[in-house]
Structure 1
Amino acid sequence: MIEVRDVYKTFGENEVLKGITAQFKPGKNNLIIGGSGSGKTTLLKCIVGLHEPTKGQVLFDGKDFTQMNFEERVPIRKEIGMLFQNSALFDSMTVEENIMFPLNLFTEQSRAEKLERANFCLERVNLKGKNKLFPSELSGGMKKRVGIARAISMQPKYLFVDEPNSGLDPKTSILIDELIAELTEEYQITTVIVTHDMNSVMGIGDHIIFLHGGKKWWEGSNKEIAKTDNKELNDFVFASRFMRAAKEKL
């Protein structure tokens, strides 16, 4: 489980996060949603250590990550998988080499062991046999799946996903959502997803945190969103669905 306790983050005079407290549980799709400037990406970066909170705590299974130095954080970082918004694949590396990159960095496995793990991950994301392709030869959806394969190569306890459906068509977006949800449940990963895609929210949102103005404004499940009387959340949901529908008609 991941906990954030009273987390603040300030950049100069701009206070982006204003006392966020939340829990993210294993085996659940934990979604962070909110409009532009709400603080959702900043919160994600504070959790993984890309930003240091100005105040507050981040705990991984009860261990205070915010109080650790670089070396003390290494064991936890080895248990973290990341899927970036643009997949962040290395263009000069093959699919196989991209997936093996974290294994080369953090393990002392033999090449045969790394290759076996890469093949397993590729098969798990339905890309068996695509080892020798380069990112330039992949569709947007395939790149996302390679990114997921790399993210799970270290068998992470914690998976962080930033806008997984950015740039994808609706059908491919659903496939990516379903894949992330399957992996989360199958391996009981604590998955934290930043998204503005309401289809994702309604499809896989086991636990949702809505940020507004740097504060936690609402918390609940996808089943509870339809029943909420929270004005700001309703405005966000309506605007998100309207914009998505408009784009699909273009």
Structure 2
Amino acid sequence: MIEIQNIHKAFGSNVVLTGIDAVFEPGKVSLIIGGSGSGKSTLLKCIVGLHQPEQGKVFFDKKEFTHMDFEEKIPIRKEIGMLFQNSALFDSMTVEQNIIFTLDMFTEMSKSEKIDRANFCLERVNLAGKNNLYPAELSGGMKKRVGIARAISMSPKYLFCDEPNSGLDPATAILIDELIQDLTQEYSCTTIVVTHDMNSVMGIGEYILFLHKGQKFWEGSNQDMLNSDTKELNDFVFASPLMKAARQVIK
């Protein structure tokens, strides 16, 4: 479980987040949604420790993470898997080397154990046998899956995904969503996904946190969302005719 309390973040005079509270439960896919500039990615970075909030606390299974020093944070960081928006693969490394990179940093595994783990993770994301390809040889969807393979290489308790469907066609995006959902259940991860993809929201949104202008405006499930009377949420979610039609059908 991850709990955030009263998170405030600013960059100089630009206030990005104001007083955000939320609880993200294990075994569930939690989504952070909102318009551009609402603070979604900044909040994610505050949670994983890439940004230090001006105020507030982040708890990983009741352990206060925000004010730990570097050494104290290492055990928790070993339990975190992260899929970055653009996959963040090393272009000069093969697929296998990209996955083993994390194992090199955080484990005492032998070389053969690392290769076995890389093979397992690649098989889990349906990329068995792609070990020796380089990122330039992969499609966008394959890069995302390699990113996920690297993220699960340490059998994470906490899985973070920043815009995992960005730049993907709808069919591939659905496959990525299903993979994230399956891995969340398989590892009982506390999974947090930043997205603006309404297909993801409706498909895997067990808990949704909606941000608007850096503030928490709404939280609930995707089914709760369809019946919400929060204007800002409705303006964001039902901006497209397709989502408006879906809401009418369900009602």
Q: Same fold (TM over 0.5)?
A: yes
User: Which SS does the other structure have where 1:209 is aligned?
Assistant: strand
Measure how far apart 1:26 and its partner are.
0.5
- Secondary structure of the corresponding residue to residue 238 of structure 2: helix
Q: Secondary structure at the match of 1:211?
A: strand
Task: Name the CA distance, whole Å, in 2 between partners of 1:240 and 1:39.
Answer: 22
Q: CA deviation at 1:210?
A: 0.2
In structure 2, the residue matched to 1:237 is: 237
Counterpart position of 2:100: 100
2: CA distance, partners of 1:174 / 1:223: 19
Deviation at 1:240, TM superposition (A): 5.6
**For residue 181 of structure 2, what is the aligned residue in structure 1?**
181
Deviations 1:141-187 (A, max 9, x none): 00100000000001110011000000000000000000000000111
> 1:186, 1:64 → 2: CA distance?
26
Structure 2 CA distance for aligned equivalents of residues 68 and 206 of structure 1:
30
Tell me, yes or no, if the aligned pair for 1:198 and 1:240 is still in contact at 8 Å: no
Unmatched runs of 5 consecutive residues or more in structure 1: 244-250
**Alignment partner of 1:114: what SS?**
helix
Look up the match of 1:71: 71
Distance 1:13 1:172, change over 3 A: same
For residues 75-154 of structure 1, the aligned pairs below 5 Å read 75-154=75-154
Partner of 1:36: 36
Task: Number of aligned residue pairs: give it.
Answer: 243
User: Scaled by the length of structure 2, what TM-score is found?
Assistant: 0.95
- Determine if the alignment matches structure 1 residue 46 to structure 2 residue 11: no
Correspondence for 1:228: 228
Partner of 2:248: none
User: Do the aligned partners of 1:3 and 1:23 also contact (CA within 8 Å) in 2?
Assistant: yes
Runs of 4+ off more than 6 Å: none
> For each residue in 1:60-119, what CA deviation from the matched residue of structure 2 results, as whole angstroms up to 9, or x when unmatched?
000111120011001111111000111011111111111111001111100010011000
Structure 2: unaligned runs, 5 residues or longer: 244-251
Question: What corresponds to 2:157 in structure 1?
Answer: 157
Alignment CA distance shift 1:227-1:13 (3 Å): same
Moved more, 5-14 or 142-151: 5-14
Tell me the SS of whatever aligns to 1:3. Answer: strand
Q: CA deviation at 1:54?
A: 0.3
Determine the structure 2 residue equivalent to 1:205.
205
Per the TM alignment, residue 241 of structure 1 is displaced from its structure 2 partner at its CA by: 6.5
After superposition, the CA RMSD in angstroms is 1.1
In structure 1, what residue type is equivalent to 2:155? Q
Contact 1:196 1:240 in 2 (8 A): no
Offset at 1:239?
Answer: 2.5
SS at 1:66 equivalent: coil
Work out whether residues 198 and 241 of structure 1, in 8 Å CA contact, stay in contact via their aligned partners in 2. Answer: no
**Contact 1:83–1:161 (Cα < 8 Å) also in 2:** yes
- Write the distance in 2 (CA, Å) between the matches of 1:9 and 1:97: 35
Q: Matches of 1:5 and 1:126 in 2, distance apart?
A: 38
Match of 1:14 in 2: 14
SS at match of 1:67: coil
**What is the aligned partner in structure 1 of residue 62 from structure 2?**
62
Q: CA deviation at 1:238?
A: 2.0
CA distance in 2, matches of 1:212, 1:91: 36
For 2:147, the aligned partner's letter is: G
Structure 1 SS opposite 2:15: strand
| Percent of residue pairs bearing the same amino acid type | 73
